[in-house]
Structure 1
Protein backbone atom coordinates (compact mmCIF):
# COMPACT_ATOMS: atom_id res chain seq x y z
CA UNK A 1 0.00 0.00 0.00
CA UNK A 2 2.75 2.55 0.80
CA UNK A 3 4.24 1.84 -2.64
CA UNK A 4 0.88 2.52 -4.32
CA UNK A 5 0.59 5.81 -2.45
CA UNK A 6 4.02 6.90 -3.63
CA UNK A 7 3.18 6.00 -7.23
CA UNK A 8 -0.07 7.99 -7.06
CA UNK A 9 1.75 11.01 -5.66
CA UNK A 10 4.39 10.67 -8.38
CA UNK A 11 1.72 10.58 -11.09
CA UNK A 12 -0.09 13.56 -9.62
CA UNK A 13 3.15 15.50 -9.34
CA UNK A 14 4.04 14.77 -12.96
CA UNK A 15 0.54 15.74 -14.04
CA UNK A 16 0.80 19.03 -12.17
CA UNK A 17 4.21 19.74 -13.72
CA UNK A 18 2.80 18.93 -17.16
CA UNK A 19 -0.09 21.35 -16.71
CA UNK A 20 2.26 24.08 -15.46
CA UNK A 21 4.51 23.44 -18.44
CA UNK A 22 1.57 23.87 -20.81
CA UNK A 23 0.64 27.15 -19.13
CA UNK A 24 4.20 28.43 -19.39
CA UNK A 25 4.37 27.42 -23.06
CA UNK A 26 1.00 29.07 -23.70
CA UNK A 27 2.05 32.31 -22.04
CA UNK A 28 5.22 32.44 -24.17
CA UNK A 29 3.48 31.50 -27.44
CA UNK A 30 0.51 33.78 -26.97
CA UNK A 31 2.75 36.73 -26.27
CA UNK A 32 2.96 37.05 -30.07
CA UNK A 33 0.63 34.43 -31.66
CA UNK A 34 -3.15 34.84 -32.02
CA UNK A 35 -5.14 32.91 -29.41
CA UNK A 36 -7.30 30.30 -31.20
CA UNK A 37 -9.54 29.45 -28.22
CA UNK A 38 -9.74 29.75 -24.45
CA UNK A 39 -10.45 27.41 -21.55
CA UNK A 40 -13.83 29.07 -21.01
CA UNK A 41 -14.73 28.52 -24.66
CA UNK A 42 -13.85 24.83 -24.32
CA UNK A 43 -15.87 24.61 -21.11
CA UNK A 44 -18.93 26.22 -22.74
CA UNK A 45 -18.66 23.98 -25.81
CA UNK A 46 -18.36 20.75 -23.81
CA UNK A 47 -21.24 21.80 -21.57
CA UNK A 48 -23.45 22.37 -24.61
CA UNK A 49 -22.56 19.00 -26.11
CA UNK A 50 -23.14 17.15 -22.85
CA UNK A 51 -26.56 18.79 -22.56
CA UNK A 52 -27.43 17.67 -26.10
CA UNK A 53 -27.09 21.06 -27.80
CA UNK A 54 -25.03 20.30 -30.90
CA UNK A 55 -25.89 23.61 -32.60
CA UNK A 56 -23.89 25.64 -30.11
CA UNK A 57 -20.52 26.76 -31.45
CA UNK A 58 -18.09 28.69 -29.24
CA UNK A 59 -15.57 30.55 -31.37
CA UNK A 60 -13.90 33.90 -31.76
CA UNK A 61 -12.43 35.80 -34.71
CA UNK A 62 -9.01 37.11 -33.75
CA UNK A 63 -8.25 40.75 -34.53
CA UNK A 64 -5.24 42.83 -33.56
CA UNK A 65 -5.53 46.03 -31.56
CA UNK A 66 -5.11 48.09 -34.73
CA UNK A 67 -8.34 46.49 -36.05
CA UNK A 68 -10.37 47.34 -32.94
CA UNK A 69 -12.08 50.67 -32.45
CA UNK A 70 -10.20 52.67 -29.78
CA UNK A 71 -13.50 53.12 -27.97
CA UNK A 72 -13.60 49.41 -27.13
CA UNK A 73 -10.42 49.09 -25.03
CA UNK A 74 -11.29 52.38 -23.36
CA UNK A 75 -14.79 51.09 -22.56
CA UNK A 76 -13.62 47.86 -20.92
CA UNK A 77 -11.01 49.71 -18.88
CA UNK A 78 -13.65 52.23 -17.77
CA UNK A 79 -16.09 49.45 -16.89
CA UNK A 80 -13.86 46.74 -15.48
CA UNK A 81 -10.46 48.03 -14.35
CA UNK A 82 -9.65 51.74 -14.36
CA UNK A 83 -6.25 51.14 -12.75
CA UNK A 84 -5.26 48.63 -15.44
CA UNK A 85 -2.29 50.65 -16.82
CA UNK A 86 -0.85 51.15 -13.33
CA UNK A 87 -1.16 47.91 -11.39
CA UNK A 88 0.95 44.74 -11.67
CA UNK A 89 -2.05 42.44 -12.14
CA UNK A 90 -3.95 43.05 -8.91
CA UNK A 91 -5.87 46.06 -7.60
CA UNK A 92 -5.14 45.82 -3.87
CA UNK A 93 -7.53 48.58 -2.85
CA UNK A 94 -10.38 47.02 -4.83
CA UNK A 95 -9.66 43.65 -3.22
CA UNK A 96 -9.81 45.21 0.25
CA UNK A 97 -13.10 46.95 -0.57
CA UNK A 98 -14.57 43.69 -1.92
CA UNK A 99 -13.55 41.80 1.22
CA UNK A 100 -15.18 44.44 3.44
CA UNK A 101 -18.34 44.40 1.31
CA UNK A 102 -18.60 40.60 1.27
CA UNK A 103 -18.10 40.38 5.04
CA UNK A 104 -21.41 42.17 5.52
CA UNK A 105 -23.10 38.91 4.56
CA UNK A 106 -26.10 40.25 2.61
CA UNK A 107 -25.89 37.37 0.14
CA UNK A 108 -24.36 39.35 -2.71
CA UNK A 109 -20.73 38.82 -3.63
CA UNK A 110 -18.59 41.58 -5.08
CA UNK A 111 -15.54 40.66 -7.12
CA UNK A 112 -12.34 42.63 -7.61
CA UNK A 113 -10.74 40.88 -10.57
CA UNK A 114 -8.61 43.03 -12.85
CA UNK A 115 -8.53 42.68 -16.61
CA UNK A 116 -5.26 40.78 -16.19
CA UNK A 117 -6.87 38.30 -13.78
CA UNK A 118 -9.90 37.86 -16.03
CA UNK A 119 -7.64 37.20 -19.00
CA UNK A 120 -5.68 34.58 -17.03
CA UNK A 121 -8.85 32.87 -15.85
CA UNK A 122 -10.64 32.94 -19.22
CA UNK A 123 -7.60 31.75 -21.16
CA UNK A 124 -6.18 29.01 -18.94
CA UNK A 125 -8.58 28.12 -16.10
CA UNK A 126 -12.24 27.42 -15.41
CA UNK A 127 -15.34 29.15 -14.10
CA UNK A 128 -16.31 28.94 -10.45
CA UNK A 129 -15.13 30.14 -7.08
CA UNK A 130 -12.54 28.22 -5.11
CA UNK A 131 -9.27 28.96 -3.35
CA UNK A 132 -7.49 26.54 -5.70
CA UNK A 133 -8.63 28.41 -8.80
CA UNK A 134 -7.85 31.79 -7.26
CA UNK A 135 -4.38 30.61 -6.33
CA UNK A 136 -3.68 29.31 -9.82
CA UNK A 137 -5.15 32.50 -11.27
CA UNK A 138 -2.74 34.59 -9.20
CA UNK A 139 0.26 32.62 -10.47
CA UNK A 140 -0.83 32.82 -14.12
CA UNK A 141 -1.62 36.53 -13.76
CA UNK A 142 1.85 37.31 -12.41
CA UNK A 143 3.44 35.29 -15.21
CA UNK A 144 1.42 37.12 -17.86
CA UNK A 145 2.22 40.52 -16.36
CA UNK A 146 5.92 39.58 -16.44
CA UNK A 147 6.02 38.32 -20.03
CA UNK A 148 3.29 40.31 -21.79
CA UNK A 149 2.89 44.03 -22.28
CA UNK A 150 -0.27 45.73 -21.03
CA UNK A 151 -1.30 46.24 -24.64
CA UNK A 152 -0.96 42.50 -25.29
CA UNK A 153 -3.02 41.59 -22.22
CA UNK A 154 -5.75 43.97 -23.34
CA UNK A 155 -5.68 42.61 -26.89
CA UNK A 156 -6.05 39.01 -25.72
CA UNK A 157 -8.77 39.98 -23.27
CA UNK A 158 -10.82 41.68 -25.99
CA UNK A 159 -10.47 38.61 -28.22
CA UNK A 160 -11.59 36.00 -25.67
CA UNK A 161 -14.06 37.91 -23.47
CA UNK A 162 -17.59 36.47 -23.51
CA UNK A 163 -20.17 38.96 -24.80
CA UNK A 164 -23.16 36.63 -25.05
CA UNK A 165 -24.24 33.04 -25.52
CA UNK A 166 -21.58 31.61 -27.82
CA UNK A 167 -20.24 35.07 -28.64
CA UNK A 168 -16.55 35.41 -27.75
CA UNK A 169 -14.31 38.28 -28.68
CA UNK A 170 -15.07 41.81 -29.76
CA UNK A 171 -15.03 41.01 -33.50
CA UNK A 172 -17.73 38.35 -33.15
CA UNK A 173 -19.74 40.63 -30.84
CA UNK A 174 -19.54 43.60 -33.21
CA UNK A 175 -20.70 41.53 -36.16
CA UNK A 176 -23.44 39.72 -34.19
CA UNK A 177 -24.98 42.76 -32.51
CA UNK A 178 -24.12 45.68 -34.80
CA UNK A 179 -23.41 44.01 -38.17
CA UNK A 180 -20.05 45.70 -38.55
CA UNK A 181 -16.39 44.92 -37.81
CA UNK A 182 -14.90 45.79 -34.43
CA UNK A 183 -12.88 48.57 -36.06
CA UNK A 184 -16.10 50.52 -36.73
CA UNK A 185 -17.66 50.35 -33.26
CA UNK A 186 -18.90 53.70 -31.99
CA UNK A 187 -18.38 55.03 -28.48
CA UNK A 188 -21.96 54.13 -27.52
CA UNK A 189 -21.74 50.61 -28.98
CA UNK A 190 -18.46 49.93 -27.20
CA UNK A 191 -19.97 51.10 -23.91
CA UNK A 192 -22.96 48.78 -24.43
CA UNK A 193 -20.70 45.77 -25.00
CA UNK A 194 -18.68 46.65 -21.90
CA UNK A 195 -21.91 47.02 -19.91
CA UNK A 196 -22.82 43.33 -20.34
CA UNK A 197 -19.41 41.95 -19.32
CA UNK A 198 -20.26 41.29 -15.63
CA UNK A 199 -22.79 38.65 -16.74
CA UNK A 200 -22.98 38.25 -20.54
CA UNK A 201 -25.44 35.35 -20.31
CA UNK A 202 -27.93 37.30 -18.19
CA UNK A 203 -27.35 40.75 -19.72
CA UNK A 204 -28.13 41.05 -23.44
CA UNK A 205 -26.42 43.48 -25.79
CA UNK A 206 -29.12 42.87 -28.40
CA UNK A 207 -31.99 43.29 -25.92
CA UNK A 208 -30.58 45.53 -23.18
CA UNK A 209 -32.57 45.90 -19.99
CA UNK A 210 -32.99 49.17 -18.15
CA UNK A 211 -30.11 48.16 -15.88
CA UNK A 212 -27.83 47.54 -18.87
CA UNK A 213 -28.78 50.89 -20.42
CA UNK A 214 -28.05 52.66 -17.14
CA UNK A 215 -24.73 50.88 -16.90
CA UNK A 216 -23.94 51.84 -20.50
CA UNK A 217 -24.46 55.50 -19.61
CA UNK A 218 -22.26 55.10 -16.54
CA UNK A 219 -19.50 53.54 -18.70
CA UNK A 220 -19.74 56.46 -21.13
CA UNK A 221 -19.30 58.94 -18.27
CA UNK A 222 -16.29 57.01 -16.98
CA UNK A 223 -14.75 56.99 -20.47
CA UNK A 224 -15.02 60.77 -20.62
CA UNK A 225 -13.58 61.18 -17.12
CA UNK A 226 -10.58 59.03 -18.05
CA UNK A 227 -9.84 61.44 -20.88
CA UNK A 228 -11.18 59.64 -23.94
CA UNK A 229 -8.81 58.27 -26.58
CA UNK A 230 -5.88 60.25 -25.19
CA UNK A 231 -5.94 57.94 -22.15
CA UNK A 232 -4.94 54.98 -24.36
CA UNK A 233 -2.13 56.89 -26.06
CA UNK A 234 -0.87 58.20 -22.75
CA UNK A 235 -0.43 54.66 -21.43
CA UNK A 236 0.84 53.04 -24.64
CA UNK A 237 -2.30 50.97 -25.20
CA UNK A 238 -2.80 51.89 -28.86
Structure 2
Protein backbone atom coordinates (compact mmCIF):
# COMPACT_ATOMS: atom_id res chain seq x y z
CA UNK A 1 0.00 0.00 0.00
CA UNK A 2 1.48 3.33 -1.12
CA UNK A 3 1.23 6.66 0.67
CA UNK A 4 -1.66 7.99 -1.44
CA UNK A 5 -3.77 4.93 -0.76
CA UNK A 6 -3.07 5.23 2.97
CA UNK A 7 -4.12 8.89 2.98
CA UNK A 8 -7.31 8.06 1.10
CA UNK A 9 -8.13 5.26 3.54
CA UNK A 10 -7.59 7.47 6.58
CA UNK A 11 -9.68 10.25 5.04
CA UNK A 12 -12.50 7.82 4.26
CA UNK A 13 -12.51 6.35 7.75
CA UNK A 14 -12.50 9.85 9.26
CA UNK A 15 -15.52 10.90 7.17
CA UNK A 16 -17.40 7.72 8.10
CA UNK A 17 -16.65 8.27 11.77
CA UNK A 18 -17.79 11.89 11.55
CA UNK A 19 -20.99 10.82 9.80
CA UNK A 20 -21.75 8.31 12.53
CA UNK A 21 -21.16 10.99 15.18
CA UNK A 22 -23.50 13.39 13.42
CA UNK A 23 -26.19 10.72 13.27
CA UNK A 24 -25.97 9.95 16.98
CA UNK A 25 -28.63 11.27 19.36
CA UNK A 26 -26.07 12.69 21.78
CA UNK A 27 -24.49 14.82 19.05
CA UNK A 28 -27.87 16.17 17.95
CA UNK A 29 -28.81 17.05 21.52
CA UNK A 30 -25.50 18.84 22.05
CA UNK A 31 -25.89 20.68 18.74
CA UNK A 32 -29.42 21.78 19.66
CA UNK A 33 -28.22 23.06 23.03
CA UNK A 34 -25.29 24.84 21.40
CA UNK A 35 -27.53 26.55 18.84
CA UNK A 36 -29.96 27.66 21.55
CA UNK A 37 -27.14 29.37 23.48
CA UNK A 38 -26.38 33.07 23.28
CA UNK A 39 -23.39 34.06 21.14
CA UNK A 40 -21.38 34.72 24.30
CA UNK A 41 -22.12 31.28 25.72
CA UNK A 42 -21.32 29.71 22.36
CA UNK A 43 -17.88 31.35 22.41
CA UNK A 44 -17.27 30.25 25.97
CA UNK A 45 -18.34 26.71 25.18
CA UNK A 46 -16.10 26.64 22.12
CA UNK A 47 -13.12 27.94 24.10
CA UNK A 48 -13.77 25.44 26.89
CA UNK A 49 -14.00 22.57 24.42
CA UNK A 50 -10.73 23.57 22.75
CA UNK A 51 -9.07 23.87 26.15
CA UNK A 52 -10.34 20.45 27.22
CA UNK A 53 -9.07 18.84 24.01
CA UNK A 54 -5.71 20.60 24.37
CA UNK A 55 -5.43 19.49 28.02
CA UNK A 56 -6.23 15.93 26.98
CA UNK A 57 -3.59 15.99 24.27
CA UNK A 58 -0.96 17.60 26.51
CA UNK A 59 -1.66 15.25 29.42
CA UNK A 60 0.20 12.41 27.69
CA UNK A 61 3.58 14.17 27.26
CA UNK A 62 3.19 15.84 30.67
CA UNK A 63 2.64 12.45 32.30
CA UNK A 64 5.73 11.10 30.54
CA UNK A 65 7.71 14.16 31.65
CA UNK A 66 6.62 13.70 35.29
CA UNK A 67 7.50 10.00 35.20
CA UNK A 68 10.92 10.83 33.74
CA UNK A 69 11.59 13.39 36.48
CA UNK A 70 10.67 10.85 39.16
CA UNK A 71 12.97 8.27 37.57
CA UNK A 72 15.83 10.79 37.42
CA UNK A 73 15.30 11.77 41.09
CA UNK A 74 15.27 8.11 42.14
CA UNK A 75 18.44 7.45 40.13
CA UNK A 76 20.24 10.44 41.65
CA UNK A 77 19.20 9.35 45.16
CA UNK A 78 20.54 5.84 44.60
CA UNK A 79 23.73 7.24 43.09
CA UNK A 80 24.26 9.48 46.12
CA UNK A 81 23.70 6.52 48.46
CA UNK A 82 26.22 4.42 46.55
CA UNK A 83 28.75 7.25 46.70
CA UNK A 84 28.29 7.58 50.47
CA UNK A 85 28.73 3.81 50.90
CA UNK A 86 31.91 3.87 48.82
CA UNK A 87 33.20 6.83 50.82
CA UNK A 88 32.52 5.10 54.15
CA UNK A 89 34.10 1.90 52.88
CA UNK A 90 37.19 3.78 51.71
CA UNK A 91 37.51 5.71 54.99
CA UNK A 92 37.10 2.56 57.06
CA UNK A 93 39.84 0.84 55.07
CA UNK A 94 42.14 3.84 55.63
CA UNK A 95 41.61 3.97 59.40
CA UNK A 96 44.80 3.25 61.37
CA UNK A 97 45.02 -0.01 63.26
CA UNK A 98 44.82 1.01 66.95
CA UNK A 99 47.07 -1.09 69.12
CA UNK A 100 45.73 -2.41 72.43
CA UNK A 101 46.56 -0.55 75.63
CA UNK A 102 49.24 -2.01 77.91
CA UNK A 103 48.14 -3.69 81.16
CA UNK A 104 47.51 -1.23 83.96
CA UNK A 105 50.68 -2.31 85.85
CA UNK A 106 52.79 -1.79 82.75
CA UNK A 107 51.14 1.59 82.20
CA UNK A 108 52.03 2.55 85.76
CA UNK A 109 55.65 1.53 85.14
CA UNK A 110 55.77 3.53 81.90
CA UNK A 111 54.41 6.63 83.60
CA UNK A 112 56.89 6.24 86.45
CA UNK A 113 59.69 5.96 83.88
CA UNK A 114 58.54 9.18 82.17
CA UNK A 115 58.57 10.97 85.54
CA UNK A 116 62.13 9.78 86.25
CA UNK A 117 63.29 10.91 82.81
CA UNK A 118 61.84 14.38 83.53
CA UNK A 119 64.26 14.71 86.51
CA UNK A 120 61.56 15.86 88.90
CA UNK A 121 62.45 16.28 92.57
CA UNK A 122 61.13 13.65 95.00
CA UNK A 123 58.84 16.16 96.68
CA UNK A 124 57.23 16.91 93.31
CA UNK A 125 56.03 13.33 92.87
CA UNK A 126 52.94 12.73 95.01
CA UNK A 127 52.15 9.24 93.71
CA UNK A 128 50.38 7.20 91.07
CA UNK A 129 47.09 5.82 92.36
CA UNK A 130 44.32 3.78 90.82
CA UNK A 131 41.64 6.18 89.62
CA UNK A 132 37.88 5.98 89.84
CA UNK A 133 35.99 3.81 87.41
CA UNK A 134 35.60 5.34 83.99
CA UNK A 135 32.35 7.06 83.23
CA UNK A 136 30.84 9.99 81.40
CA UNK A 137 32.38 10.18 77.94
CA UNK A 138 34.12 6.81 78.37
CA UNK A 139 31.81 3.99 79.51
CA UNK A 140 33.24 1.58 82.09
CA UNK A 141 33.10 -1.36 79.67
CA UNK A 142 35.41 0.51 77.25
CA UNK A 143 38.22 1.08 79.79
CA UNK A 144 40.84 -1.37 81.02
CA UNK A 145 41.61 0.84 84.02
CA UNK A 146 42.44 4.36 85.16
CA UNK A 147 45.36 5.98 86.96
CA UNK A 148 45.64 9.31 88.77
CA UNK A 149 49.14 10.74 88.40
CA UNK A 150 49.71 13.39 91.09
CA UNK A 151 52.55 15.87 90.65
CA UNK A 152 53.28 19.08 92.56
CA UNK A 153 55.14 22.37 92.08
CA UNK A 154 55.29 22.24 88.29
CA UNK A 155 55.76 25.27 86.16
CA UNK A 156 53.49 25.79 83.17
CA UNK A 157 55.99 24.25 80.74
CA UNK A 158 56.32 21.15 82.90
CA UNK A 159 52.54 20.83 83.14
CA UNK A 160 52.26 20.72 79.34
CA UNK A 161 55.32 18.51 78.78
CA UNK A 162 54.30 15.87 81.31
CA UNK A 163 50.78 15.72 79.91
CA UNK A 164 52.15 15.25 76.40
CA UNK A 165 54.52 12.50 77.53
CA UNK A 166 51.78 10.59 79.35
CA UNK A 167 49.47 10.92 76.35
CA UNK A 168 52.18 9.63 73.99
CA UNK A 169 52.84 6.37 75.84
CA UNK A 170 50.31 4.47 73.73
CA UNK A 171 47.63 5.35 71.20
CA UNK A 172 45.06 3.61 73.41
CA UNK A 173 46.05 5.55 76.54
CA UNK A 174 44.14 8.82 76.83
CA UNK A 175 43.98 11.66 79.32
CA UNK A 176 40.34 11.97 80.26
CA UNK A 177 40.88 14.88 82.67
CA UNK A 178 43.52 17.15 84.16
CA UNK A 179 43.02 18.97 87.46
CA UNK A 180 45.33 21.97 87.91
CA UNK A 181 45.47 24.01 91.13
CA UNK A 182 47.88 26.65 92.35
CA UNK A 183 50.43 25.37 94.85
CA UNK A 184 49.64 26.47 98.39
CA UNK A 185 53.24 27.29 99.29
CA UNK A 186 54.16 29.08 96.08
CA UNK A 187 51.40 30.18 93.74
CA UNK A 188 53.86 30.51 90.89
CA UNK A 189 53.74 26.72 90.56
CA UNK A 190 50.90 24.26 90.07
CA UNK A 191 49.76 20.98 91.54
CA UNK A 192 48.41 18.70 88.83
CA UNK A 193 46.41 15.47 88.76
CA UNK A 194 46.56 13.70 85.40
CA UNK A 195 43.65 11.28 85.05
CA UNK A 196 44.78 8.64 82.57
CA UNK A 197 42.60 5.88 81.16
CA UNK A 198 43.61 2.77 79.23
CA UNK A 199 41.02 2.03 76.58
CA UNK A 200 39.76 -1.49 76.03
CA UNK A 201 40.44 -1.84 72.32
CA UNK A 202 38.63 -4.85 70.87
CA UNK A 203 40.94 -7.32 69.24
CA UNK A 204 40.38 -8.39 65.69
CA UNK A 205 39.56 -12.08 65.40
CA UNK A 206 42.55 -14.18 64.38
CA UNK A 207 42.62 -15.20 60.74
CA UNK A 208 41.34 -18.70 60.05
CA UNK A 209 44.07 -21.34 59.85
CA UNK A 210 45.26 -22.08 56.40
CA UNK A 211 44.08 -25.33 54.95
CA UNK A 212 46.87 -27.84 54.37
CA UNK A 213 47.68 -28.27 50.71
CA UNK A 214 45.88 -31.20 49.22
CA UNK A 215 48.13 -34.08 48.43
CA UNK A 216 47.96 -34.70 44.75
CA UNK A 217 48.66 -37.98 43.16
CA UNK A 218 52.32 -38.40 42.37
CA UNK A 219 53.10 -39.51 38.93
CA UNK A 220 55.16 -42.66 39.04
CA UNK A 221 58.20 -42.49 36.89
CA UNK A 222 58.55 -45.56 34.72
CA UNK A 223 61.58 -47.66 35.56
CA UNK A 224 63.92 -48.55 32.78
CA UNK A 225 65.54 -51.91 32.61
CA UNK A 226 69.12 -52.02 31.60
On whether the aligned pair clears a TM of 0.5, the verdict is: no
Tell me the TM-score normalised to structure 1 length.
Answer: 0.23
Structure with a larger share of its residues in helix: 1
Structure with a larger share of its residues in strand: 2
